[in-house]
Structure 1
């Protein structure tokens, strides 16, 4: 299957091209976009499959009595314990590094595994540096949405609880 037949975007973009070099660059970009879309599609199907099986199994175990009261997932201790442990560990390691290493210093100086004091105002791999306020609000919104989704699931499987 050619690239033109495999996407609907390609004919629209090729109408505005003037140079063959631009055409190859756009073809590479579209090919990468298609590979990314395919990988995301496979990834989402795998995640849904992994989550779907425990949900079906737990739904089959639910009692048929309508008088049974199911408590809210918001007060489930497992996610709160994981959250508190993660935040405390993160803050403790940051405090230890800031207190004991100068900026750019590594401990140990060589080797495969080492701690290095570096500042990153962006996300992973220094993406979106300088957008700290926006990243904070986006992260808080994502956590709020995920908390709402989690609390709306009745009797979640253990995979979702962790």
Structure 2
């Protein structure tokens, strides 16, 4: 892994203070109707750093998503996992941001035990997403957890 890629993953803002799952839940709680929550999702997607084209390949592409989605993952020497994800679809970028806020820069036990369904319920996402978007959202989480579980 190149130093540039390592730096990119380590410095990813989502999952850091003020952009973790608690902060996302607070943002969504302040938003009232679904339209406001949808705007929050789009704004979160805009905060998602774009993955440079040279780091987007078939190996990084996630299967099971309606839109193209790329995922980069790295475990550091302290056992924390660092991720970056990207998509060309605005709503998918927002959903990726929500997932990364909960799982990025975390330990394997946290990632594997985090209650994603409860988190999505708190954010009131599942009931407003199409079945294919909901499946894609779960595919993202499954892919992240699979990477963590397959690590030595």
**TM-score, with structure 1 as normaliser:** 0.22
Q: Which structure's residues are more often helix, by fraction?
A: 1
- Higher RCO (CA < 8 A, seq sep 6+): 2
Rg larger for: 1
